[in-house]
């Protein structure tokens, strides 16, 4: 695990001062080579010892080791320029560009995997597997991922109801109970209508599963099980591609784990595949 991924993965468990250091390091990683621990402390208005303790808490002997490790990681990823892997290959032909984009997607997928520990993934699988009904909702681009995930669940024989309009979903949730699960997709986790759906659903005692970015957001805080996606790029047209790739991989992991849960689920999937094949026969 690279130091920047480690910082992102542990940020939510850090103290307020540690989060300030973490955020500064993540936003200015390429500048750290020119910063001493005292200069970094001065920039943040904290003590030098706080910087040293932050480095040690991450498993380094001190700040110089942390700075060196971050520098090595940035060099491997393109010399410290977040745009370098793709931008450098932009004129190198289709194959070079495709390879660079693939590497960026793989990195986003790996970081997302590390940010969702096995216990969280298992909790999500347990909730989905044991649910009587699964309600799935998301708006805009999130709605596309929600629809595809609901279809995957249906292929496993789950009763999955998908909506992209909050009003019909609100009506459906009026009859939801303890044996049901609501899955809400929201990249930023701040949509007021989704928060209202979550509150309505939780009144019935059901379990709320959120899928958002790895940021502090209201929906993530409200969820019983919170899955997170990490994708970072300074290139505005690239970051959404990385997010979607990492999100799809996370959902595919859930699908495979659900499929492997028991023989009955695998049998239902085989039946669904056979039915679809017959439907598509000319």
Q: For the sheet with 207-213, list strands across it.
A: 160-163, 133-138, 180-185, 207-213, 225-229
Whether residue 96 lies inside any domain: the answer is no
User: Which pLDDT belongs to residue 1?
Assistant: 65
Total structural domains in the chain? 2
Indicate which CATH number applies to the domain containing 59: 1.10.10.10
Q: Are residues 20 and 127 in the same domain?
A: no
59: domain range?
Answer: 3-80
User: Which pLDDT belongs to residue 78?
Assistant: 55
User: Which pLDDT belongs to residue 267?
Assistant: 95
Indicate which CATH number applies to the domain containing 123: 3.40.50.10490
Q: Are residues 180 and 134 in the same domain?
A: yes
CA distance to 27, 55, 92, 183, 219, per residue, from 117 (Å): 24, 22, 38, 19, 19
Q: Are residues 59 and 169 in the same domain?
A: no
Q: What is the pLDDT of residues 196-232, one digit of tens each?
A: 999 999 999 999 999 999 888 999 999 999 999 998 8
Q: Are residues 19 and 139 in the same domain?
A: no
Alpha-carbon span 254 to 57, nearest angstrom: 32
User: Which pLDDT belongs to residue 92?
Assistant: 64
**Residue 280: CB atoms within 10 Å:** 7
- Which regions of the chain are under pLDDT 70? 1, 77-92
- Please tell me whether the overall predicted TM-score, pTM, comes out greater than 0.85 for this model: no
Q: Which single residue is written with the structure tokens 């799935």?
A: 136
Examine the fold and report which residue of 59, 80, 101 is the final residue of a domain before the chain moves on.
80
Q: What is the pLDDT of residues 10-30, one digit of tens each?
A: 887 899 999 999 999 988 888
Q: Are residues 257 and 183 in the same domain?
A: yes
């Amino acid at each position: 695990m690279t130091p920047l991924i480690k910082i992102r993965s542990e940020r939510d468990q850090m103290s307020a001062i540690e989060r300030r250091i973490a955020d500064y390091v993540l936003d200015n990683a390429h500048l750290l080579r020119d910063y001493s621990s005292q200069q970094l402390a001065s920039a943040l208005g904290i003590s030098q010892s706080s910087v040293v303790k932050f480095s040690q808490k991450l498993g380094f002997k001190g700040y110089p080791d942390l700075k060196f490790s971050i520098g090595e990681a940035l060099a491997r990823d393109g010399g410290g320029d977040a745009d370098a892997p793709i931008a450098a290959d932009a004129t190198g032909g289709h194959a070079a560009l495709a390879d660079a984009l693939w590497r960026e997607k793989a990195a986003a997928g790996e970081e997302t995997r590390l940010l969702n520990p096995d216990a969280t993934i298992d909790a999500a699988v347990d909730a989905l597997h044991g649910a009587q009904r699964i309600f799935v909702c998301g708006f805009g681009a999130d709605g596309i991922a929600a629809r595809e995930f609901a279809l995957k669940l249906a292929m496993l024989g789950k009763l999955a109801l998908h909506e992209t309009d909050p009003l019909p979903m609100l009506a459906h949730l009026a009859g939801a109970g303890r044996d049901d699960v609501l899955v809400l997709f929201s990249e930023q986790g701040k949509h007021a209508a989704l928060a209202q759906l979550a509150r309505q659903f939780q009144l019935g005692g059901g379990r709320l599963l959120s899928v958002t970015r790895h940021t502090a957001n209201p929906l993530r805080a409200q969820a019983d099980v919170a899955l997170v996606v990490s994708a970072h790029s300074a290139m505005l047209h690239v970051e959404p591609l990385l997010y979607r790739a990492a999100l799809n991989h996370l959902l595919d992991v859930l699908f495979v784990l659900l499929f492997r849960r028991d023989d009955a689920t695998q049998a239902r999937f085989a039946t669904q595949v056979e039915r679809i094949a017959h439907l598509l026969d000319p």
